[in-house]
Amino acid sequence: MDKLWVVIKREYLERVRSRWFIFTTIFGPVFFGAVTVLPTYMARRTINSGRVASIHILDATGTGLGHRVADRLAQQQHTGGAGGFGGGRFARGASTAPQSIPSVVEDLNPPRLAAAESIATKDVMTGVSPGYLVLDSATVTGYKARYAGRNASAVGQIEEMQTAIRQSIIASRLEGAGIRPDRIDSLTDVKVDLSSVRLDERGRGDSGIVSFIFGAIVAFMLYMMIMLYGQNVMRSVLEEKTTRVAEVIMASVKPDILLAGKILGVGAVGLTQQIVWVGSAAGFITYGAVMAKAMGMPQMQGMTFPTVPPSLLLSLVLFFVLGYVLYSAMFAAVGAMVGSQEEVQQAAQPVILMLVASIIFFEPVLLNPTGTLAVVTSIIPFTAPVIMPVRMTTIQVPPLELAGSLIGLAVTCFVVIWAAARIYRIGLLMTGKRPNLPELMRWIKYA
């Protein structure tokens, strides 16, 4: 045990004291927070600063629909989103909505529409107009419209135009049905704030969306930690083998103890980093509402860190430890088999693919954590370290499934460690070409 502790301490302190570990541990949460918040913030700024309201509208409906759409677009640009249907504000030529860049509406007879489209196309090509919208009889009867412009691939702006057209048609039909214009807003401007709460055997739980986000974060962190630190073990083994340091170390330490110390030491580094990152995430979610309000993202306000019972926290730690040990043992065996960096990348592909399989099934499992796919992948030992924690953070997993997954993962860890230790014992001192599968089986049998 003394020698094992010496190896664990060496592996742990060697990595924790490095500048790269300190940098990634401190600035990792900052980076992930920026990746989470900045795309939403920039997308919101892009939409709000777009020139949706300055398009050229060709109205061949004969109903004044083009002016309604122009007013709606101007209002959306001013308020940053869709409001009511506008009632009297959409009366032709009588818009009171603020317009910083008004749209140009051209009323046409249907026979003149083709020529007007040709002219509008030239205006877009020469930069006079960002785009043009065509409204004709098909818009009124079949709810179809056409848009052409330089920003035709801007999904947010296209959705704003669709909203403006839809709401303008509804407002026009309500007025045609005899509803007073001043009553349209009060009847149609209804906003629903739907909140979701997760229920389980213990009763009411956390917000559904918070549990969803928490599950995604847990799965991503587990996957990254197992992948990064598992490969870290592999590179460490390969470095000691190629530099002949292993020959000196094995003169005083048994290979099995060296392998166990390396896996446990590097795993403790990953666990330390996980604790720091989880604490940072809790602080970000708890105090992020102030920042969200300042950045104009109200959808992030009111989010709280989900309640994590001690049993759930213990289970998450167990799955991380067992998953890390499972893959680290396989990565260590790969590092002991090969003799160069070029060979290790090829030899590690089967192990990496098994781990990547868990992240491939991550999204469908997160969307349906009670489905057959979720149950099967959470029991298979090679995908359970990532998939089962996702299910545990989103639903109440039956105790039998949880116990079966843990037992299966633990048994698989024991078998893999036993085989990896035998490969490690022989491969660490072997040189030459990489062994094939029959040779590996002989190593395991006779080691």
Torsion of CA 203, 204, 209, 214, to 10 degrees: -60
Given a contact cutoff of 8 angstroms between Cβ atoms, the answer to whether 163 and 180 are in contact is no
CA dist 186 and 249 (Å) reads 80
The string of pLDDT tens digits covering residues 405-437 is 999 999 999 898 888 888 887 877 776 667 777
The string of pLDDT tens digits covering residues 331-353 is 888 888 887 777 887 888 888 99
Contacting residues for 424 by C-beta, under 8 A, at least 6 apart: 237, 255, 256, 259, 332, 333, 336
pTM: 0.62
Straight-line distance from the first to the last Cα atom of the chain, in angstroms, rounded to the nearest whole number? 22
Q: What does the block give as tokens for 127?
A: 């930069």
CA dist 121 and 58 (Å) reads 12
Contacting residues for 105 by C-beta, under 8 A, at least 6 apart: 57, 59, 66, 67, 70
Given a contact cutoff of 8 angstroms between Cβ atoms, the answer to whether 25 and 276 are in contact is yes
On the 0-12 / 13-18 / 19+ scale of CB atoms within 10 A, 208 is middle
Does 205 or 190 have the greater pLDDT score?
190
Does 106 or 303 have the greater pLDDT score?
106
Given a contact cutoff of 8 angstroms between Cβ atoms, the answer to whether 80 and 101 are in contact is no
Name the least confident of 41-50, 150-159, 164-173, 197-206. Answer: 197-206
Rg of the chain taking only CA atoms, in angstroms:
31
The string of pLDDT tens digits covering residues 225-274 is 888 888 888 888 888 777 777 666 766 777 778 888 888 888 888 888 87
DSSP string, 34-98: HHHHHHHHHHHHHHHT--GGG-EEEE-SSSSHHHHHHHHHHHHHHHTS-----GGGGSTT---S-
In sequence order, the β-bridge partners of residue 200 are 203
The string of pLDDT tens digits covering residues 387-412 is 988 888 778 888 899 999 999 999 99
